Structure 1
Amino acid sequence: MPIRFLLAAALWAFATLSCAQAFPDKTRPMRIIVPFGAGSGGDVVARAYARALSESDGLNAIVENKPGAEGVIGLESGKHAAPDGYTIVWSNLSTHVLNVHQQPALPYDPVVDFIPLVITESVALVLNAGPSSKFSTLAEVLSAARANPGKLTYGSSTASTRLAMEILEHQANVKLLSVPYKTQAQATSALAAGEVDLLMTDVVTALPFYKSGRLRPLAVTSGARLAALRDVPTVRELGMKDYEFAAWSAFFAPARTPPEAVEKLRATLREAGKSKYVIDAVAIKASETPPLSPGELDALIKTDIDRWGRLLRDMKKTAR
Structure 2
Amino acid sequence: MTPNRDEAHHPEEETDEMKQMHRARRTLLGALGALAMAVPGGPAQAQAQAQAQAAYPDRARPIRIITPSGAGSIVDLLARAQAKAMADVAGLNVVVDNRPGAELVLGIQTFMNSPADGYTMLVTSSSSHAINPVLMPKLPYDPLTDFAALTGIAKGSLIMNLGPSTPFRSAGELVAAAKASPGKYTCGSASTTTRLACELFETTARVKTLNVPYKTVAAAMTALAAGETDLFFIDLGSSRAQWQSGRVRGVATTSPTRPSMLPEIPTMQEQGVGDYEVTAWFAAYFPRNTPPKIVHAMQKILAEAHRTAAFSEMLDANALEPLPLAGDALIEMNRKEIDKWKRVVQQQSPAR
Q: Normalising to structure 2: TM-score of the pair?
A: 0.85
Partners in 1 of 2:110 and 2:42 — Cα distance?
Answer: 30
Aligned to 1:113: 146
Q: Is 2:55 the partner of 1:18?
A: no
The answer on whether the counterparts of 2:178 and 2:184 sit within 8 Å (CA) in structure 1 is yes
1:191-231 residue CA offsets vs partner (Å, 9 max, x unmatched): 11000011111101111111221211110011211233221
From 129, 152, 157, the counterpart of 1:124 = 157
Shift of 1:132: 4.9
From 48, 58, 64, the counterpart of 1:31 = 64
Shift of 1:143: 1.4
- Counterpart of 2:149 in 1: which secondary structure? strand
Aligned to 1:302: 335
From 210, 216, 228, the counterpart of 2:243 = 210
Aligned to 2:24: none
Q: Is 2:323 the partner of 1:290?
A: yes
Partners in 2 of 1:316 and 1:241 — Cα distance?
Answer: 16
Q: Is 2:119 the partner of 1:86?
A: yes
Shift of 1:95: 0.5
The answer on whether the counterparts of 1:51 and 1:277 sit within 8 Å (CA) in structure 2 is no
From 265, 278, 282, the counterpart of 2:311 = 278
Partners in 1 of 2:268 and 2:247 — Cα distance?
Answer: 22
Q: Is 2:149 the partner of 1:141?
A: no
- Counterpart of 1:228 in 2: which secondary structure? coil
Shift of 1:298: 0.8
- Counterpart of 1:249 in 2: which secondary structure? strand
Aligned to 1:261: 294
- Counterpart of 1:179 in 2: which secondary structure? strand
Aligned to 1:162: 195
The answer on whether the counterparts of 1:155 and 1:181 sit within 8 Å (CA) in structure 2 is yes
- Counterpart of 1:310 in 2: which secondary structure? helix
Aligned to 2:273: 240
Please, what is the CA RMSD of the aligned residues? 2.0
Q: Is 2:41 the partner of 1:9?
A: yes
1:158-216 residue CA offsets vs partner (Å, 9 max, x unmatched): 11111122112111111111101111111011011000011111101111111221211
Q: Which amino acid aligns with 1:281?
A: M
- Counterpart of 2:284 in 1: which secondary structure? strand
Q: Which amino acid aligns with 1:299?
A: E
- Determine which structure has more spread, i.e. the larger CA radius of gyration: 2
Question: Identity, % of aligned pairs?
Answer: 40
Q: Normalising to structure 1: TM-score of the pair?
A: 0.93
Shift of 1:5: 8.4
Q: Which amino acid aligns with 1:214?
A: R
- Counterpart of 2:155 in 1: which secondary structure? strand
Partners in 1 of 2:139 and 2:82 — Cα distance?
Answer: 28
Aligned to 2:87: 54
Q: For 1:159-198, what aligned pairs fall within 5 Å after superposition? A: 159-198=192-231
- Counterpart of 2:104 in 1: which secondary structure? helix
The answer on whether the counterparts of 1:16 and 1:258 sit within 8 Å (CA) in structure 2 is no
Q: Is 2:294 the partner of 1:249?
A: no
Q: Which amino acid aligns with 2:41?
A: A
1:141-167 residue CA offsets vs partner (Å, 9 max, x unmatched): 111211222221011001111112211
Shift of 1:16: 2.8
Partners in 1 of 2:214 and 2:142 — Cα distance?
Answer: 24
Task: Count residues with an aligned counterpart.
Answer: 316
Shift of 1:240: 3.0
Question: Against the structure 1 CA distance between its residues 179 and 248, is the aligned structure 2 distance closer, same or farther, given a 3 Å change threshold?
Answer: same
The answer on whether the counterparts of 1:221 and 1:243 sit within 8 Å (CA) in structure 2 is yes
Q: Which amino acid aligns with 1:223?
A: P
Shift of 1:74: 0.8
Once the two structures are overlaid, the 10-residue window that deviates more, 196-205 or 308-317, is 308-317
Q: Which amino acid aligns with 1:196?
A: T
- Counterpart of 1:9 in 2: which secondary structure? coil
- Counterpart of 2:251 in 1: which secondary structure? strand
Where does the alignment leave 5 or more consecutive residues of structure 2 unmatched? Answer: 1-32
Question: Against the structure 1 CA distance between its residues 151 and 56, is the aligned structure 2 distance closer, same or farther, given a 3 Å change threshold?
Answer: same
Partners in 2 of 1:52 and 1:130 — Cα distance?
Answer: 35
- Counterpart of 1:70 in 2: which secondary structure? coil
From 86, 106, 121, the counterpart of 1:73 = 106
The answer on whether the counterparts of 2:153 and 2:324 sit within 8 Å (CA) in structure 1 is no
